[in-house]
Structures are given as structure tokens and as C-alpha cells.
Structure 1
Amino acid sequence: MIAPLEEGHVGGYSVAYGREDIYFPVYVTAALAAIFLAAAWITGALYWLPLAAAAAGFTYYNIPLLETGRPTVGANQYGIFIQAFGLIRWRAIARIDLVEIAERAMTIHELQIALDAPIGSALVADWRKRPAYRVLMRLPWRMDHRGVVRVDLEPFDRAPDEIHRTVLRMWRYYRS
């Protein structure tokens, strides 16, 4: 049996969300939700409630960005792990690419992991089933119809090229 396969105890190389001013809007919208809720309570006017719900919804969706100490993406001797996805075994990976995507006035870096096998046999540990309270929260990954797992690397505490180099080096080492 493979050593601990719990989402919080994966070992090896890992990156977490970085603590930057980018996440300031999450705190602002949480404060706005509280202000709008207080305004609805004090004035008795119901038109404040949709504003409070929208602000609270944005805050709830983005709460994972505030979890800076929790490993989100990384790799160990068994494969690549992605929070709320699972542990992808090394032999199930066809290629690992770093792709730059131009979006409006900025460039987003995306780690694309192409799978060689169906998702059921590619995962050593499947973490896609999440607790009910986390179902509507932000995911660090998305998957396209070709079997490519895409991870946005911008919010992490390490540079995208460093993450790509390290994961690629580990893939080459452990796959051989």
C-alpha cells in the first residue's frame, strides 16, 4: 500500500497559494457582505440582501485563495497531486507543458498535464469528491475534453517556470 494518500499529507515538492495583495478583494467583499447585511438589518429594506448575497458568494468562492499554508499542487515519488483532484501516477502522464495565455492586458501561465490513460486508472488517489461545504469553492484545476488537466499557476507562491521545471524534472526521474 502506498504511504499516506490523504489530501493534506502528500509529502515531496509542493506549492501553496501565495499571500499577496491580489487577494485583497476577498477581504473587501467579505466586509461589503457584512455591511450590506447590517444595512438590511438596520433599515429593514430587503434590497440590501441581494447585494449582501452577491458579495458573500464571491467571498465564499474565493476562500481557498486565503489558505496559504495548505499544499495545493505538487509532486512526490508516486505522481503529481492537485488539491480536490487527486494523485496522478507518473506513468499515466503523456506530457507536461507550461503554456502562456494572453488574456486582456496580462499573461497567464498554465500547467497542462496530458494524460495517457483514462482518469479512473490514472489516479492513484481520487480526491474529486469534496465535502459539501467546499462544493462551490474555487478549484485549482480544470479538465478539457482531450484529457488534459489544466492548472493556473498565477496564484501560487512560486514562479510558474520554477514549478514547471521541478515537476518536469521529477516526471523524467520517476518515470524512468
Structure 2
Amino acid sequence: MESTTTVGHDHSYGYSVAYEREELQFPVYVVAVVAAGLATAGVVLDNLPLIALSLIAFGYAYHNYPLLETGRPRIGASQYGIFADGLGIISWRSIKQMEMVWTEIRGSGSHELLITLQEPIGRALLTDWRKRPLHRFLMRLPWTMAAKDVVRIPLGVFDRPADDIHRTFMRMMNFYRR
């Protein structure tokens, strides 16, 4: 007999990681203040290019708003699998390989977690959280699809060390796949 239990946000307790609390918030606040200043100057001076620049800056601040929500879990793992905010819960049995890699982009390096799936993402997800409310549609997600079957999670923005996150995920995967 099949179980019809659905797995939601409340079932994702276990190991969870949030965004780092210190240095990530500052640039978002600065860009928002600069955007407000540009918008004010643009309206006072009746200058359309300043207003356009302020809209671009507001867009950047809006996109990075989730970095300000530091207490909310963004990625984690539980008995059901690995969860990522805006993606869902990837079941343990659907994970083919999980590795941490070092990537350098424009002279700055960071660790990334690459999760290779055994099946398409639609079948690998126990719960699909990809459909988001309209007001959160353009906001930053903690993951991207690197390829058709590879989920890429940059680990440098979280409040725990990258090797700790990877080691814990591997330990949980080995335990729950037995």
C-alpha cells in the first residue's frame, strides 16, 4: 500500500545552513542607499538617466535581498534528502555523486557543491519548490543547474565552512542510503 504523505518545509529539519550574517549584508544595504539617493536626485533634478540608474541599483538590491534573511535555512539535509530553498528536496536515492570543487571566477575563488543526479530533476525531487511567488521570482537562489543533471551550490556565502557542509551531507547520504 502506497503512502500519500507529502513532504513540505516543516519536514526539512535536520542539518540546515543559512546565509552568513556579517559581510554579505553590507553591500546590499549600501546599494539600496545609493539607489535611494540616485532616485531622489533624479526626481529633484528631473534627470531621467539618474532615475534609470536608481532603478538598476534597486534591482540589484532586490535580487540580493535574500542575503539579508540570515536566519532562514537555505540548504540542508534530512532523512528525506538534500533540500535547497527554491528547488525542493532531492531524494538520497536520486543522487549519483556529490563532490566539492574549487572554482575561480575573476581572481576570486570559492568552493561549490556539485550534486550529480541519477535521473532528471523532475523525478529526483520529492517536493518541488521551484514555483515561487511572483514577488520572489527575481530574487537570488542558493543553487543553479550546472548541466541537465547537475545542481551547483556555491558554499562561500553560508554561515558554516564549506568542508563542514560537504562532510555532513556525505555522512548523512551514506547513513540514509543504507
TM value normalised by structure 2: 0.93
Tell me the secondary structure at the aligned position of residue 152 of structure 2. Answer: strand
SS in 2 for 1:38: helix
Of stretches 8-17 and 63-72 in structure 1, the one that deviates more from structure 2 is 8-17
Deviation of residue 156 (structure 1)? 0.2
Q: 2:115 maps to which residue?
A: 113
1:24-35 matched pairs, under 5 angstroms: 24-35=26-37
Q: Report the RMSD for the aligned CA atoms in angstroms.
A: 1.4
- How far did 1:3 drift? 6.5
Cα displacement (A) at 1:54:
1.0
Report SS of the residue matched to 1:128: coil
Q: Percent identity?
A: 49
Aligned residues: 175
Mapping of residues 94-133 of structure 1, within 5 Å: 94-133=96-135
SS of residue matched to 1:138: coil
Aligned to 1:39: 41
Paired with 2:14 and 2:5, the residues of 1 have a C-alpha distance of 14
The one-letter code matched in structure 2 to 1:10 is S
2:8 aligned partner: 5
1:55 has 2:54 as partner: no
* Residue identity in the other structure for 1:5: G
Aligned mates of 2:154, 2:140 — CA distance in 1: 12
Q: What residue ranges of structure 1 are gaps of 5+ in the alignment?
A: none
Q: 1:104 to 1:41 in 2, by over 3 A?
A: closer
Instruction: Encode CA deviations 1:12-32: one digit per residue, 9 max, x unaligned.
Output: 100000112233111111001
Q: Distance in 2 between matches of 1:120 and 1:133?
A: 24
Letter in 2 for 1:158: R
Quick one: distance in 2 between partners of 1:21 and 1:89? 33
